Amino acid sequence: MNEDPETFRQRVIELAQELYPNLTLVEHPEAVDVVLADEQQVSLQNIRANYNLSDHPDEDLRGLVERHFGQLLSAAIPKIDDLSHEDVKDRLYPQVMPAEYVESAPLRLISFPLSNEVSVGLVADFPETYMYLREIDLQRWDVAADDLFDQAQKNLEELTQSVQLQLAGADKDVFIAVTSGDGYDAARILIPTFQAFLSQHLGETFRFAIPNRDFLICWRLDCEESFHQQIASQIIADSSERPYPLSSSVFVRNSEGNIHEQASTIITPPPEDDQSSPSD
């Protein structure tokens, strides 16, 4: 039987701390399959998958943890404190994250609030690791946060050119969804050129939601109320059931490109046998 994710993560942390006593390990505040190792995000999915394929002896898990975190500590893995602005500029992306993650970070992150629940930060994305940028990085690189955000948006815009969109519905009851799974689907709502594209199909003022990091859904402001309620109820489910949850709120992007959270409305959950979810 598979182990409870939180119990499994705690076992991994205890083993890694025993094997590598100089490594600072803490639980990730938003994802049960991630830990923070010296402030770097480390996914436990591969460890868990390989462990579930084994006969589950403790020595198997110990070996998996030793190899996984040993690679992390390798000199080949970049560390944010050793990187220059030139090293990261082409790997910068904006990222949406829970506000509590910003509040709990060991060092102040470069970020701004999108709502009370979520904030937008910057990450440097390398094949071996994924790092949030901190305010001290601005100081040592002597760059402005706005300049880094501009570069990150350009990088994400380029990455988005090859992403497939889901466009469905008819008349005013249409939606556009992004589920590429590359970790930046929610963040794509921040790209001005992508907002312009959405406006062509949904009107200059439209609704959107980011229930989790890997899902963005946008729909018309003037859609039928029943259509809006269907999407909004699914958003609530997605934000509580899917990995990397963000927000169950509905947001509005207006004609000037400003984003605000829409006032909550009473949502009627869809029937359990309803198979028409936009996120399916």
Give the model's pLDDT for residue 75. 61
- CA 166 vs CA 222, 239, 279: distances in Å: 20, 19, 9
Q: Which residues of 97-130 are buried (b: 16+ CB within 10 A; e: fewer)?
A: bbbebbeebeeebbbeebeebbbbbbbbbeeebb
What is d(CA 164, CA 205) in angstroms, rounded to the nearest whole number?
A: 22
Give the model's pLDDT for residue 59. 81
Q: pLDDT tens digits, residue range 70-126?
A: 876 776 677 888 899 999 999 999 999 988 888 878 789 999 999 999 999 999 998
pTM of the model: 0.73
Question: Which of 13-22, 188-197, 233-242, 264-273 comes out lowest in average pLDDT?
Answer: 264-273
Half-sphere exposure of 267 (CA within 13 A, CB side): 19
User: Predicted confidence band at 191 (pLDDT cuts at 50, 70, 90)?
Assistant: very high
